[in-house]
Amino acid sequence: MKYILVTGGVISGIGKGIIASSVGTILKSCGLHVTAIKIDPYINIDAGTFSPYEHGEVFVLDDGGEVDLDLGNYERFLDIRLTKDNNLTTGKIYQSVITKERRGDYLGKTVQVVPHITDAIQEWVMRQAKVSVDDDGVEPQVCVIELGGTVGDIESMPFIEAFRQFQFKVKRENFCNIHVSLVPQIVCRCSTPLDTAVKEKISMFCHVEPEQVICIHDVSSLYRVPLLLEDQGMVEYFCRRLDLPIEKRPHRMLTKWKEMSDRTDRLLEHTSIALVGKYTKLSDSYASVIKALEHSALAINYKLEVKYIDSADLEPSTQQEEPVKYHEAWQKLCSANGVLVPGGFGVRGTEGKIQAIRWARQQKKPFLGICLGMQLAVCEFARNVLGWQDANSTEFDPETKHPVVIDMPEHNPGQMGGTMRLGKRRTIFNSTSSILRKLYGDVEHVDERHRHRFEVNPELKHHFEEKGLRFVGQDLAGKRMEVIELEDHPYFVGVQYHPEFTSRPIKPSPPYFGLLLAAAAKLQSYLIKGCRLSPRDTYSDCSGSSSPDSELSDLKFLSV
């Protein structure tokens, strides 16, 4: 096993995650099996209880793990499937050590940071590095480890010490460190390429060879970062430093990345999507949603504009208190080519989301509702089509006479962390005419990731279907409503799951792909053609990766 540790200095958020993902990408393109681990030094057990404003999006894995958004980058760049143990936190480490101490595993010894915590960190990394992340079940050959925060943070110290020891445990030829730092003008991050003299100066003061100073300057697209690393000889360096079993330079996989990057720079046509949410002041709150939209826009050769709208600004109370903000929000919504209401929690802004959904339904604007977005679409329909004026979710109004969305029986309201319906679950399509089924490649079922505590009330299903809101996808038992579609509408779709978590740059998520097709007025012609250029042409059956040695399917872009 070869280990590559990525650390950061000067400032947090300098781009360690993209560097780690890009390093993994160029090594995988050489035919190696690559895995990734993210270390977060905070004391939380996982990211499940974070506010999106605190730490960005909570990314959900197949096994239900609620993890740091950087694991989303790893999965998208490397096209792999990770587990919750690929995200290591101080909380997890201390919890495991304290559990062992209570069990008597340390035989009465004084339990200390060194050696017990540091040993636990090393054991966790070595154990998790061997877990397969590819569909072929092959054990990884390279593990890329990203240490969050910056070197010098007090909470990072046990991890720094653990890896200081680790380099001797696994031997020099199996371990190397990439340090991402800032070159103010801001491997080295900067706005323009560094000249040779600057690289030589960094080399001298950092005690590394000049070839080990890699410049990652600002580029037009994140997809160009792996290409930039490869151009500066990083593969050749790793081959020598880690004695990697690589016989050829990266070719086919990186060729596709270059094609994709070039197309991104040449896009001429534009389309816009209104993202109506609660956390729109921080784009990282919806990181995977934005990426899924970008993947789909690129697949139809369109440049994407995301119009961020705080849902509370669409509500009548804002019209009274801040009329300018209210009218600006509505102007954004009305000028968009499509509407997306993503997942979320809490009552703030829900009425504004319902207003946006009503507008999209009545104006026949393409609409996609994710998780809470689907639930609110059901609430809106109940109020304005079925005439149930107080229809609501019991999350927001426990006393409503029309509880169209209810909490799930297994939900434990006494504890917040890890109590939701999480991870990969199967959805069965019960209609052959479903638009979403066709977008998935006319499959009978799909496996997608979930993160929710509430669900559509199954006892009221028939009331909606009589008026044209069809529940075309359900769980295995036929009890949970997973997919809604509205008749006589260009594209009005809601899903209980989070398809954005399995979207890939060259394998766009079908629900998002459908939204972008509809927003560009291309969906009907695409369906008439039999979806022969469906995303499923380049979208593996379970959204996982193929072996890096297997033939990659051709990158296809649509001309519909």
Give the span between the Cα atoms of 225 and 232, in whole angstroms.
Answer: 11
Give the span between the Cα atoms of 515 and 489, in whole angstroms.
Answer: 12
Alpha-carbon distance values, 98 to 88, 90, 394 (Å): 16, 12, 39
Alpha carbon of residue 440 to chain centroid: 19
Catalytic residue check, 230: no
Q: Where is 404: in which H helix or E strand?
A: strand 403-407
Position of tokens 């929710």?
452
Catalytic residue check, 450: no
Which pair of structure tokens corresponds to residue 272?
């816009």
Catalytic entry in 371, 450, 485, 489: 371
Report which of 309, 305, 285 is spatially closest to residue 297, judged by C-alpha positions. Answer: 305
Catalytic residue check, 179: no
Residue type present at position 80: I
Collapsing DSSP to helix, strand or coil, 157 comes out as: helix
Q: Which letter, b or e, does each residue of 316-325 get, where b requires 16 or more Cβ atoms within 10 Å of its Cβ? A: eebeeeeeee
Give the span between the Cα atoms of 63 and 31, in whole angstroms.
Answer: 27
Catalytic entry in 380, 395, 482, 500: 500
- Going by the DSSP 8-state scheme, the letter that residue 116 receives in this structure is I
Give the span between the Cα atoms of 357 and 343, in whole angstroms.
Answer: 14
Residues 6+ apart with CB under 8 A from 418: 46, 48, 64, 66
Catalytic entry in 402, 450, 452, 498: 498
Residues marked active site are found at: 371, 498, 500
